[in-house]
Amino acid sequence: MSDFNDFENFNNFVKNGGSYTENTSSSDNSSRSDSSYYRDYGYSRDNSSYSDNNSYYSGGGSSYSGGSAGNSGDGYSGQGYASYGTNYDDYNSAAVKMSFEDTAGTMTERSFYVTIYGLLLWGFAINYLIVQNFTDYFVYMDYRALIIGYFVLCLAGMFVSRHRNPVICFIGYNMIVLPVGALVSVVLAYSNPLIVQHALLGTGLITIGMMAISFAFPYSFLSLGKTLSITLLVTIVVELALSFLGIYSTMIDYLVVGIFALYIGYDMNKAQLAERNLRGAVGVAVQLYLDIINIFLRLIRILGRRK
């Protein structure tokens, strides 16, 4: 199994590099984490169109300010505002148009989570089909070509899955699912079926448990974002260094399982503040998919070493 350490390190790297962060500031410069506020008024946490430093609609910016960029005594005039219209009605129309575009395709909370779970099931179903039908092909494929293809497709998929078009987002998601399926097929080819069953059971219990905790304690994991990213990055570096020395530690595997278990809670908390549309659902599904796959692969390694 040591031959596939690079695969798992790449998988961890993709997850760490693909972590998404959002700006939690609203237009009135007050910190609001209420998901209904963002959803109902079109304020998305990764969209800066309504932030205080933006030139469209800000208290401290240049477009909507009487003193900073406008002529004295005229709150809605000046160079900054003139670029978007010559009267307040033009400005208001532009703001309404932007808000409408950002909230297009908004889902209910229930349909949003159903879509996330459906995307996860889609990814795992594709992985199952790859394992059942293409394992021999990937097992005998050139190792270097498999590594390069996996690395390139996963990183490209992370980039494409962030596109504003939901169809393109879904394509990006599949660009991650396919190479991960190739990786899983190779790992399972060298794994005991009983170990695979136990790893599946363990992964399921961890996933369901962390999701339940995240719903029971909303926003409880949000403060862990930077800590998890730094810890994962350091773990990857240490593991790579040890692998060059021919040292493989089970403790690192346990640590990685713990990190990605916390990432499930973190990403589920993020989902409660994400845009309620297909693009937001794909973004959450990508992160959860990588969390779950990494836990599964590490449990296989842990159980395999015990055997």
pTM for the model? 0.68
Local structure of 31: helix, strand or coil = strand
pLDDT-wise least confident of 27-31, 267-271, 289-293: 27-31
Q: What is the pLDDT of residues 289-301, one digit of tens each?
A: 999 999 999 999 9
Q: What is the pLDDT of residues 182-236, one digit of tens each?
A: 999 999 999 999 999 999 999 999 999 999 999 999 888 999 999 999 999 999 9
Q: Which value, to the nearest 10 degrees, does the dihedral of the CA atoms of residues 50, 53, 56, 60 take?
A: 110
Tokens 């998988």, residue?
11
Q: Is the pLDDT of residue 42 over 90?
A: no
DSSP code of 3?
G
pLDDT given at position 12? 56
Q: Residue 248 — very low, low, confident or very high, per pLDDT cuts 50/70/90? A: confident
> Whole-number mean pLDDT of the chain?
76
Which has more pLDDT, 130 or 91? Answer: 130
Which has more pLDDT, 139 or 86? Answer: 139
pLDDT given at position 154? 93
Residue type, 176: I
Q: Is the pLDDT of residue 1 over 80?
A: no
Neighbours of 250 (CB within 10 A): 12
Of 291, 256, 268, 259, which Cα lies nearest the Cα of 222? 268
Q: Residue 307 — very low, low, confident or very high, per pLDDT cuts 50/70/90? A: low
Which has more pLDDT, 6 or 140? Answer: 140
Q: Is the pLDDT of residue 74 over 80?
A: no
pLDDT given at position 6? 52
**Residue 237, by phi and psi: left (phi above 0), alpha (psi -120 to 50) or beta?**
alpha
Of 15, 2, 3, 6, which Cα lies nearest the Cα of 232? 15
Q: Where are the domains of the chain?
A: 2-25+106-306, 43-102
Q: Could you give the percent of the chain with pLDDT greater than 90?
A: 56
pLDDT given at position 305? 83
